[in-house]
């Protein structure tokens, strides 16, 4: 037994001195449904468009992927709802995103960029954008294009803040490409 003692000590020494791996401090959420609710600021009429993939498997086709249709020359408030339908009842992840707003950021990329502009209205405790609530102004002319909606998950990494208000950094919880029509 004495002859194995130096080997055992060496193994313990090397494994206890190993540097911690670089890992985020929390996990990504499972998202099975995203609802975008556009409310016309003039008429107060609301339109809701949904992406739903009940099993959350990106390798299978979603059950629902609505085309977004908005009026030209209009201003809308946009509310984003995020859900996990694999739980019963469905979990409203929007609440968790709001509670953990300092590590979440929605990114709205419109192609062509002139189709509509999005201005994020809600901020985290550091004054950085979140994106659960936004303002959307559509083009004055009709057109079609795409809206790439991303949800970035940007938790601290080894005690260093990752969220800067920009898309870079962290991982992606949501990456959806909606068809858009402005008429």
* Domain of residue 46, residue span: 22-182
Q: How many folded domains does the chain comprise?
A: 1
For residue 45, tell me if it sits in a domain.
Answer: yes
For residue 93, tell me if it sits in a domain.
Answer: yes
CA dist 167 and 121 (Å) reads: 17
Per-residue confidence (pLDDT) for residue 28, from 0 to 100: 66
For residue 12, tell me if it sits in a domain.
Answer: no
For residue 135, tell me if it sits in a domain.
Answer: yes
The sign one gets for the Cα dihedral 56, 60, 63, 69 is positive
For residue 4, tell me if it sits in a domain.
Answer: no
51's CB contacts (< 8 A; 6+ apart) are 33, 34, 62, 64, 65, 66, 176, 178
Walk along the chain (183 residues) in steps of 10 and give the mean pLDDT of each run.
42 40 54 97 98 90 97 98 94 96 97 98 97 98 98 93 94 96 98
Q: Residue 94 is part of a domain; what is its CATH number?
A: 2.60.40
Nearest Cα residue to 55 out of 27, 31, 90: 31
For residue 6, tell me if it sits in a domain.
Answer: no
CA dist 105 and 72 (Å) reads: 27
Per-residue confidence (pLDDT) for residue 93, from 0 to 100: 96
Per-residue confidence (pLDDT) for residue 177, from 0 to 100: 98
For residue 100, tell me if it sits in a domain.
Answer: yes
The pTM for the full model equals: 0.84
Residue with tokens 């502009």: 117
């Amino acid at each position: 037994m004495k002859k194995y003692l130096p080997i055992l000590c060496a193994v313990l020494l090397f494994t206890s001195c190993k540097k911690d791996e670089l890992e985020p401090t929390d996990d990504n959420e499972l998202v099975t449904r995203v609802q975008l609710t556009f409310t016309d600021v003039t008429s107060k009429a609301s339109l809701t468009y949904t992406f739903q993939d009940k099993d959350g498997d990106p390798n299978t086709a979603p059950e629902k992927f609505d085309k977004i249709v908005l009026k030209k020359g209009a201003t809308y408030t946009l509310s984003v709802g995020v859900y996990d339908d694999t739980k019963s009842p469905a979990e409203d992840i929007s609440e968790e995103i709001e509670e953990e707003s300092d590590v979440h950021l929605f990114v709205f990329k419109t192609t062509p960029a002139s189709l509509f502009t999005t201005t994020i209205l809600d901020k985290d405790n550091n004054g950085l954008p979140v994106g659960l609530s936004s303002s959307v102004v559509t083009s004055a002319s009709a057109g079609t294009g795409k809206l790439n909606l991303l949800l970035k998950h940007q938790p601290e990494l080894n005690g260093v803040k990752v969220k800067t208000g920009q898309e870079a950094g962290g991982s992606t919880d949501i990456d959806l490409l909606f068809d858009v029509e402005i008429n």
